[in-house]
Amino acid sequence: MGTLLAWGGLVAAPLLLHLLSRRKYREVQWAAMQYLLAAIKKNSRRVQIEQLILLLLRTLAVACIVLAAAKLFFENSPIAGSSHQRTHRVIVLDASYSMAYKPADRSRFESAKQLAENIVQQGTQGDGYSLVLLGAPPRVVVGNPAFEPRDFLEELKNIHLAHTGADLSATLQQVEQVITAAKTEHPRLVAREIYFLTDLGRNTWQPDLKETSADDFRARSQRLAKEARLVVLDLGQPTWENVAVTGIQLADSTLATARDATIEAEIKNFGNQSITRLPVEWYVDGRRAGQDAVDLDAAGRATVALTHHFDTPGDHSIEARLASDLLPVDNHRWLSLRVKPQLRVLCVGSGQSDGYLAPAEYLALALRPDDDRADSSDIQCDVLGESSLADADLASYDCVFLANLGQFTASEGTLLSSYVAHGGNLVWFLGEQVQLDSYNRRLCSLDTGAERALPARLTGFAPAGQYMFDPLDYQHPLLAAYRGRSDHTLQATLVTRYVKAELPPLSKARVALAYENGDPAIIEEAIGRGRSILVTTSADRSWSVMPLIGSLNELVYEMLGWVVHPAAPERNLLVGQPIGDTLHGQAVAANVQLHIPGGEQQQLRLNIDGDYSVWSFADTQLSGLYKAELPSPWGVESLSAVNVDTSESDLTAADPTELSAKLWAGVPFTHLTDWQDIAEAAADAAPRRHVLQVYLLSIAIICLLAETFLAWRFGTRGA
């Protein structure tokens, strides 16, 4: 309001001067007054019009000078400023890896940085600048507005492209927070502008949001549009080509002790042109181990495989690599394999037998290598009674099977919860002994922050009957080995009793296998760094025929193979996800030396947590191998493979029309699609503004000359 008055006052200055000038005059005596009065009488109307014309010319001249001095931007300029008001400009820089696409001498990201620099350099004194990276997760680089362009540009210069995707919703949330804070702390910044410097990738700008999330997103966008002017500067190209390694995994379910492994890599052509004989190279532990060549149709996929024998146990890396293209980030994919010399399994069960064996013994029997799937030395299986659980050294076991245990003490609950949280694996089988309340209270409390060891709460015993499994289309990876097979006995398994279970609210647990009535049969959940699997029926013959028909053996083996997988998910992650490890025992040295892709190294503190030592690293912004050198007593290397989320490899741009019709319905924004236009707009913005100023000043000069001439003309015409 005050600013408006100030500007209004400036433009009204001629009028005020005109009025004031009537108070500032010279005095003369005048004899020929009658002729002067006669002149006024005859010409008063003409004089008024002439005075008005002169006043308008003076006002216009002053207004033009004021506007020129204020370096006004106009709405039709893409690099617009908000007239004479101090402006808070939030630059949202797309830092998803698709911005690394380099069609010419500069990548999209470099172009975006240059454009951001231009925006800042073309600002006016008093403007503030914030910088938010559009990523997954988003990152606020400069939150509190920087008023010194040099400081901002220094921050901008130090920004490097991460290999993340982009979470637009979370980014807008951050932007809103930045703007809200700036409004409070810098009330003089009365105008706001948000620039999205992006390739407008479809995966980012047309996210598959649930309806409620979409509503929230739209509401937030509308709030932002009310607060600020939204400008989307599209740095994408209309045509592009890209090939990426979209997946890498072990070809079959293999125990961590297996020395021979087949690794498959999936190659996808995201472009519109077919490719022949595309070379694919394999690297194992950094050494070239093989090469393939694939043919790819437009938008086609191909799979290549490598069979490799690992001579030594420990962590190994496998890399599938493509020849470089315009987007090199997704031309690599890594896999981290942990080959163990032996698996240690503990089976804990009640002593109650079904007349043949106790449940734990069935499990031990199932894990006994009496088939050709593993060497006898691969698995060391120990069996303990229920009463010995509290004294067991769980941390020394890769997996603990618990069968038909009746109830748990608090310390047992804590022991099991701690074990699974630190990376241990639990597999639960139930039975007649189970006391539901003890399970729920000790192992699956609903209290916030309570420790858990069980993925679901037990709600009651199902009545005796005949229940068959529903494999749920084998969607869960635990059942991946059954997929497409007809020789397995899982579907022929009859269950007569089971315990009903339900997932706690907001649980991340998943049902891997169900009964035909819809009740869960197998529920799994990652708890902490470990995993817990609940099988709602028994491991012995009392509730199911699994031990009789062999399906128990296969199921137990698959579960063990899944939870103790050589390519464990906690060591094969996506960019942005934290890496780390829980080690059994206490370290001598306190630090872990972490080698980051790109050559950087970091010292990480090793935290002691009871019988465990824990390290973690959250800032995985680059794809590649993260190698942790563990101190004594372990003295080994831990490898984590961090890969890109290849949804970002699809460089298809979002349709801005669809964007304004759906996700940003009712959200006004300026969108520029032509890269050349944007570049020229950025390059020409200041000159154009100067041209505008020249125009304004020219008009002012013309007005002043016209005013002088007309004043003279009005005074001398006909004289």
Residues that bind other proteins (CB under 8 A): 21-22, 24-40, 42-43, 46-47, 50-51, 711-712, 714-719
CB of 719 to other proteins, least distance (A): 5
List b or e across 106-135, with b for residues whose CB sees 16 or more CB atoms inside 10 angstroms: ebbbbbbbbbbbbbbebbbeebbbbbbbbb
Q: Which of 9, 5, 51, 19 is nearest to 711 (CA)?
A: 51
Q: Which is nearer to other proteins, 51 or 475 (CB)?
A: 51
CB of 151 to other proteins, least distance (A): 52
Q: Which is nearer to other proteins, 1 or 32 (CB)?
A: 32
Name the amino acid, one letter, at 336: S
Judge whether 209 and 106 are in contact, CB under 8 Å: no
> What contacts 125, CB < 8 A, 6 or more positions away?
none
Q: Which is nearer to other proteins, 2 or 715 (CB)?
A: 715
Q: Which is nearer to other proteins, 27 or 447 (CB)?
A: 27
CB of 61 to other proteins, least distance (A): 17
List b or e across 295-324, with b for residues whose CB sees 16 or more CB atoms inside 10 angstroms: ebeeebebebebebebeeebbbbbbbbbee
Judge whether 528 and 519 are in contact, CB under 8 Å: no
Judge whether 301 and 266 are in contact, CB under 8 Å: yes
Q: Which is nearer to other proteins, 44 or 274 (CB)?
A: 44
List, in sequence order, every residue forming a beta bridge with 164; answer none if it has no partner.
96
CB of 8 to other proteins, least distance (A): 25
Q: Which is nearer to other proteins, 695 or 712 (CB)?
A: 712
Helix boundaries (H) for 277-328: none
Return the C-alpha torsion angle 271, 273, 244, 196, nearest 10.
Answer: -20
Q: Which is nearer to other proteins, 55 or 374 (CB)?
A: 55
> What contacts 661, CB < 8 A, 6 or more positions away?
none
CA 558-562-563 angle, to 5 degrees, is 120
Name the amino acid, one letter, at 604: L
Residues 220 and 223: their CA atoms lie apart, in Å, by: 5
Residues 552, 369, 417, 341, CA torsion sign: negative
Residues 478 and 556: their CA atoms lie apart, in Å, by: 10
Half-sphere exposure in the Cβ direction for 604 (13 Å, CA):
27
Q: Which is nearer to other proteins, 34 or 312 (CB)?
A: 34
CB of 708 to other proteins, least distance (A): 10
CB of 12 to other proteins, least distance (A): 19
Residues 408 and 437: their CA atoms lie apart, in Å, by: 10
Instruction: State how far Cα 10 lies from the chain centre.
Output: 50
CB of 24 to other proteins, least distance (A): 7
DSSP state, residue 162: -
Q: Which is nearer to other proteins, 141 or 710 (CB)?
A: 710
Q: Where are the beta strands (DSSP E) in 389-495?
A: 399-403, 425-429, 457-461, 467-470, 494-495
CB of 48 to other proteins, least distance (A): 9
CB of 142 to other proteins, least distance (A): 55
Q: Which is nearer to other proteins, 43 or 307 (CB)?
A: 43
> What contacts 703, CB < 8 A, 6 or more positions away?
57, 58, 60, 61, 64
Q: Which is nearer to other proteins, 29 or 212 (CB)?
A: 29
Q: Which is nearer to other proteins, 17 or 480 (CB)?
A: 17
Residues 385, 391, 397, 398, CA torsion sign: positive
Judge whether 678 and 78 are in contact, CB under 8 Å: yes
CB of 229 to other proteins, least distance (A): 45
Cα–Cα distances in Å, from 346 out to 265, 393, 429, 599? 35, 10, 13, 41
CB of 705 to other proteins, least distance (A): 16
CB of 11 to other proteins, least distance (A): 22
CB of 176 to other proteins, least distance (A): 57
**H/E element, 379:** strand 379-385
Residues 529 and 422: their CA atoms lie apart, in Å, by: 5
Can you tell me whether residue 139 is helix, strand or coil? Answer: strand
427's tokens: 């597999």
Residues 512, 513, 518, 521, CA torsion sign: negative
CB of 714 to other proteins, least distance (A): 5
Q: Which is nearer to other proteins, 35 or 695 (CB)?
A: 35
Burial of 163 (0-12, 13-18, 19+ CB in 10 A): buried
CB of 53 to other proteins, least distance (A): 10
Residues 644 and 580: their CA atoms lie apart, in Å, by: 18
Q: Which is nearer to other proteins, 23 or 150 (CB)?
A: 23
Q: Which is nearer to other proteins, 23 or 210 (CB)?
A: 23
Q: Which is nearer to other proteins, 15 or 692 (CB)?
A: 15
633's tokens: 């007593």
CB of 184 to other proteins, least distance (A): 50
CB of 701 to other proteins, least distance (A): 21
Q: Which is nearer to other proteins, 635 or 715 (CB)?
A: 715
Q: Which of 102, 178, 94 is nearest to 136 (CA)?
A: 94
